[in-house]
Copies of this chain bind each other. A is one copy, B any other.
Amino acid sequence: MQSGDPSYEEDKFQVRKLEISDKSKGFIELLQQLSVFDFVSDKQFEEQFQELSSYGDDHLVCVIEDHCSGKIVATGSMLIEKKFLRNCGKVGHIEDVVVDASARGMQLGKKIIGFLTDHAQAMGCYKVILDCSLDNKGFYEKCGFKQKEIQMTMYFV
């Protein structure tokens, strides 16, 4: 298989779960494209990784690694909420989706969203929700989402 061959591209950009070694592959720098944040030490990262791992399938961070560059080029997270509503139903919350600026136009965002929504469905969720800017509405519509409500926020810091 060679570059340009669709099956090559398919192999090259597989979605997988976050691994602890992904910090050294630019995972934090990728998230920095989404929001400003400071230095995260290896220790902080490992502790948060273990904390999130302890939730099992109720918390999933997935990534796409570019095997040519060895860099993480896309990521997204899902948190499963358990409710009393809807007969003790479950809702998948999608958070922190970002595709590296250098890797756009290759449908990696769509792959990340597909991976997360498949996970939610496998976990028995009755719906998946996310908040996005108006600019990203069209992208999520292409992924099968529909606009429903508005998001309200209160910042403490």
List residues of chain A with CB under 8 Å of any chain B CB. Answer: 27-28, 31, 34-35, 37-38, 40, 44-45, 47-48, 51-52, 59, 61, 77, 79, 81-89, 93, 95-96, 117, 120-121, 125-134, 137, 140-141, 143-157
Among residues of B, the one whose C-beta sits closest to the C-beta of A88 is B48
Q: Which residues of B contact A52 (CB under 8 A)?
A: 82
A-B contact pairs, 5 of them (CB 8 A): A45-B84, A129-B152, A132-B149, A134-B149, A147-B153
| Stoichiometry (number of copies) | 2
From B120, B144, B151, give the contact of A129 (CB < 8 A): B151
In the complex, are the beta carbons of B148 and A87 less than 8 A apart? no
Q: Which residues of B contact A137 (CB under 8 A)?
A: 150, 152
Q: With A and B bound together, what is the CA distance between A47 and B87 in angstroms? A: 12
Among residues of B, the one whose C-beta sits closest to the C-beta of A39 is B87
Q: With A and B bound together, what is the CA distance between A153 and B131 in angstroms? A: 9
In the complex, are the beta carbons of A31 and B152 less than 8 A apart? no
In the complex, are the beta carbons of A38 and B87 less than 8 A apart? yes
